[in-house]
Structure 1
Amino acid sequence: MALHFLRRMAPWAIAFLLILGLDQVLPPSPGRTLALIVGYLALCGRTLSVIVECVVSVFTRGHRFVAVQILQQQGLRMLFLIGALIALGDALNAARLSWIVGEELAALGSSLANMLAALLTLRFITKFKRPIKHLIRNRAWRVRREGGTTVELARIVAKLWHIPALLLVVVSLLAIFITVGDVGTALARSVISAALLILTLVVTGLMQRHSERRAKRRRISEYRRRLERVGYALSHMLTWVVFAELSMQVWGGSLFGLGQQGMAGVGIGQALLALGFTILLAWLAWIFADTAIQRALMSSARSRGRRVNQARAQTITPMIRNVIFATIVIIAVIVGLANLGVNVTPLLAGAGVIGLAVGFGAQTLVQDLITGIFIIVEDSLAVDDFVEINGHMGTVEGLTLRTVRLRDLDGILHIITFSAIQSIHNMSRHFGIALMRIRIPHTMKIDDAITLMQETAQELRQDPVMRHHIWSPLEMQGIDRFDEGAAVLRMRFRTAPVMQWDVARAFNLLLKQRMESQGLDLGLPRLSVSMEGVPGDTLTDRGRDEPAPPRDAKGRAPGEAGIADLEGSLNPQRASPDSS
């Protein structure tokens, strides 16, 4: 590397030495001074570019070769120009050149040169951020496999190297225009600030990496997980607060009035500390409350033997979380204002009056809200449940804080307030029962009928569509009743929720197909007709071939009681009840 540096720098150094020799021989003139300046600028620019080239050439192995190639092909010219501009600014500050050009013009030229150098440096950092990141980060496979703090530190520095570099350049650029002492003091302060920033970024990066590693470890309780997140967040905040305080101390200020004689700064610092402590307590209270809500929902759903209903969680969780969050925020704001010296008594009195007015003016609304909270918390309803509410049967399409939207079987949408609900019949929980009552033909034996039902049920359970919805074998409950002389068998399946009707219809269809294939028919109702004669009239009173006289429904012959005979005449004597 030393030979490479000498080989690249020797011609430029020799040329500059020749210019210095000619400067000693030739008489003073503007051309001699200009030649000396040009040689000095070229030597400084070449030195910067060759130093960077030699440093990056060390990383030419493995995956870093492409990054080195990009820097060598595209970055050396920009580095040469940056070094030349820096040298020009330094040269214009020299007493000899200032006397020749003029102090004001030399100062203006030096400022412009330094400003251009800073702008080009910003451009270089943003353009080559990714290649330099690869140079810092990439390591051999053996080193990466072993890991360790060095590898983690290299990853963090590679990810964040451009931030302190940009800060250093920006502060140097501002030091040219803002009067904060001399430029050297400003640059020294900026270097210290950049070093503090690098240290802060490294510390926060290590904490972030440690938190990610702990998150991938074994399962822990939700309370511990969230408290660890709070601890890491507070560590990050504390690190940045320390950075801000140290940086302000470097530039002659203070964030909390530490080390200052003024009492105002101390008072403001104490108020900020009290406000921060209040925010921390409110944050912890919110974490415990939110975690308790989530654990209660999970345990409630698991105790019922069913998975957590996503729609229910989306309905109830935002409602309770918003109420608790608003309560914690209001209390924290009141306490924070009290810590800042604000009189909060009028605020509390006004809030009490507003609460009473709302409570008396919206009693029905409050009743709907309270009833809805209990219904949702008890998990009596959820979106997509099939229920019967107040005589309306259908699917729950949505739940709000005050109403439930129910779509019935006719497609009508019913919007029912929670306070109007008298009873809830939920048919979507845990399981369903597909109940079938089958009338058995009169000519079929009961044992054959039971065998037919069992075979039909077994075939249905093997169906690729219905087998996932049937959760138990066919339960034969026996003869339910005798309907018009035919036995009615009662049987049932345990099914998935809301699938009991589909299973029952599929069973009836398959049973009908099997009975048709076997030439059987269902037990139809039978009508028995019996013929009776007139009291006292027997078939032996007349001959078998002699037709019986026509009589009416009461057994009366024609002419009796004023009824016309077949020939169309009336018999008044027989028609009269008083005739002898």
Structure 2
Amino acid sequence: MNSLEKSTEKVAGELFDRELWIHLGELILKIFIILVVASIVIRIGRATIRNVFKVRAKSPIRVSERRENTLLKLLENVLTYLIYFIALITILSSLNIDVKGLLAGAGIVGLAVGFGAQSLVRDIISGFFIIFEDQFSVGDYVGVGKFMGTVDEIGLRTTKIKSWTGEVHILPNGNITEVTNYSINNSISVVDINIPYEQNIERAEEIIEELLEGLQDKYEEIINKPELLGVQKLGTSDIQLRIIAETVPMMHWYIARAIRKEVKQTLDQHGIHAPFPKLVMYSRNNEEVRGE
């Protein structure tokens, strides 16, 4: 029997070795069980975190809802990373891999790589300060550079901002240097109403003032009674009146549209209609005739 036949027989013997297949089956079963247990632990952990935050929401002493949503997302992400890391270490141990040596080597390699991963470290540190200083939270409407939208998620490395048209912008935390947060303080609705010159301006103001008296009770988003500031501008064919209303954060657009509709309907009921541009035409021939 030549060497090739001996090698083939040896390989065939190993492939049909019952103990080998039993050992492989046990390893696959262990890995499967570890992944299933990790998935279950993550689900239980997330449910526990949510329940804790629900209990905190009912307590008299609590932080803002914005901050709680941010911390909830962050804790869920940290829990997921931690459980999967433990699962990976357990799987490696099941494969008889020296985990201690691997971690020691990874520490040395990580130290070397760290000098070239300064941007990653900067992103993580920036993410920590964004959360710690409460610069913005999940659900806030913010402007970051050329992007504007609602904060969908804040992670340790990146922040996701969803624009009102549906696009999701993923920004490294280290690149977020200037942020405009529109959700912290109350907003102001600004509404301009045009009244024709031939209408009684004082009468129009009285009608609008009477309307504004009841808007705060009709729209819960309005904080204080809307205010009619008066004449804002004199146009070529109309007089512009300005109304302002303080609203809860980010509801000024909705309230502005509602006020325009209410004012339009009220003015129509009192016979005050929207102005239309007027065009005066002169005939040169007529002027010459009149001039004569």
- Aligned-partner Cα distance in 1 for 2:177–2:232: 33
> Does residue 1:452 correspond to 2:204, yes or no?
no
For residue 194 of structure 2, what is the aligned residue in structure 1? 439
SS state at 2:196 partner: coil
SS state at 2:123 partner: helix
Cα contact 2:141–2:151 (8 A) shared by 1: yes
> Does residue 1:472 correspond to 2:224, yes or no?
yes
Q: CA deviation at 1:354?
A: 4.4
For residue 69 of structure 2, what is the aligned residue in structure 1? 311
- Aligned-partner Cα distance in 2 for 1:539–1:487: 33
For residue 259 of structure 2, what is the aligned residue in structure 1? 507
Q: CA deviation at 1:309?
A: 2.7
- Aligned-partner Cα distance in 1 for 2:176–2:255: 30
| Higher percent of residues as strand | 2
The match for 1:398 among 146, 153, 158 is 153
For residue 241 of structure 1, what is the aligned residue in structure 2? none
> Does residue 1:370 correspond to 2:125, yes or no?
yes
CA RMSD of aligned residues (A): 3.7
| Structure-to-structure mapping, 1:96-135, within 5 angstroms | none
- CA spacing shift, 1:481–1:505, aligned 2, 3 Å: same
For residue 243 of structure 2, what is the aligned residue in structure 1? 491
For residue 361 of structure 1, what is the aligned residue in structure 2? 116
Provide, for residues 116-168 of structure 1, a one-character-per-residue CA deviation record: whole Å limited to 9, x for no partner: xxxxxxxxxxxxxxxxxxxxxxxxxxxxxxxxxxxxxxxxxxxxxxxxxxxxx
- CA spacing shift, 1:399–1:531, aligned 2, 3 Å: same
Q: CA deviation at 1:368?
A: 1.6
Greater relative contact order, per chain length (Cα 8 Å cut-off, separation 6+) = 2
Cα contact 1:456–1:507 (8 A) shared by 2: no
- CA spacing shift, 1:480–1:414, aligned 2, 3 Å: same
| Structure-to-structure mapping, 1:138-287, within 5 angstroms | none
Q: CA deviation at 1:312?
A: 2.1
- Aligned-partner Cα distance in 2 for 1:438–1:505: 12
- Aligned-partner Cα distance in 2 for 1:364–1:300: 35
Provide, for residues 55-75 of structure 1, a one-character-per-residue CA deviation record: whole Å limited to 9, x for no partner: xxxxxxxxxxxxxxxxxxxxx
Percent of residue pairs bearing the same amino acid type: 30
- Aligned-partner Cα distance in 1 for 2:282–2:154: 63
Cα contact 1:434–1:493 (8 A) shared by 2: yes
For residue 383 of structure 1, what is the aligned residue in structure 2? 138
Q: Which amino acid aligns with 2:119?
A: T
For residue 522 of structure 1, what is the aligned residue in structure 2? 274
- CA spacing shift, 1:447–1:538, aligned 2, 3 Å: closer
SS state at 1:309 partner: helix
SS state at 1:381 partner: coil
Q: CA deviation at 1:471?
A: 0.6
Cα contact 2:196–2:237 (8 A) shared by 1: no
- CA spacing shift, 1:470–1:479, aligned 2, 3 Å: same
Residue correspondences, number: 215
The match for 1:421 among 156, 171, 176 is 176
State the TM-score, normalizing by the size of structure 2.
0.62
Cα contact 1:472–1:493 (8 A) shared by 2: yes
Q: CA deviation at 1:452?
A: 2.1
Cα contact 2:150–2:162 (8 A) shared by 1: yes
Q: CA deviation at 1:360?
A: 1.5
Q: Which amino acid aligns with 1:404?
A: T
Q: Which amino acid aligns with 1:444?
A: Q
- CA spacing shift, 1:416–1:443, aligned 2, 3 Å: same
Cα contact 2:73–2:154 (8 A) shared by 1: yes
| Higher percent of residues as helix | 1
State the TM-score, normalizing by the size of structure 1.
0.33
- CA spacing shift, 1:307–1:539, aligned 2, 3 Å: closer
- Aligned-partner Cα distance in 2 for 1:417–1:529: 61
Q: Which amino acid aligns with 1:433?
A: I
Q: Which amino acid aligns with 2:190?
A: L
- CA spacing shift, 1:521–1:422, aligned 2, 3 Å: farther
- CA spacing shift, 1:416–1:526, aligned 2, 3 Å: farther
Q: CA deviation at 1:318?
A: 7.2
- Aligned-partner Cα distance in 2 for 1:453–1:393: 34
SS state at 1:361 partner: coil
Provide, for residues 499-553 of structure 1, a one-character-per-residue CA deviation record: whole Å limited to 9, x for no partner: 1111111111111111222222122333333333599x55576xxxxxxxxxxxx
Q: Which amino acid aligns with 1:374?
A: F
Larger gyration radius, structure 1 or structure 2: 1
Which sections of structure 2, spanning at least 5 residues, go unmatched?
Answer: 1-60, 83-100
- Aligned-partner Cα distance in 1 for 2:270–2:161: 45
SS state at 2:214 partner: helix
- CA spacing shift, 1:448–1:423, aligned 2, 3 Å: farther
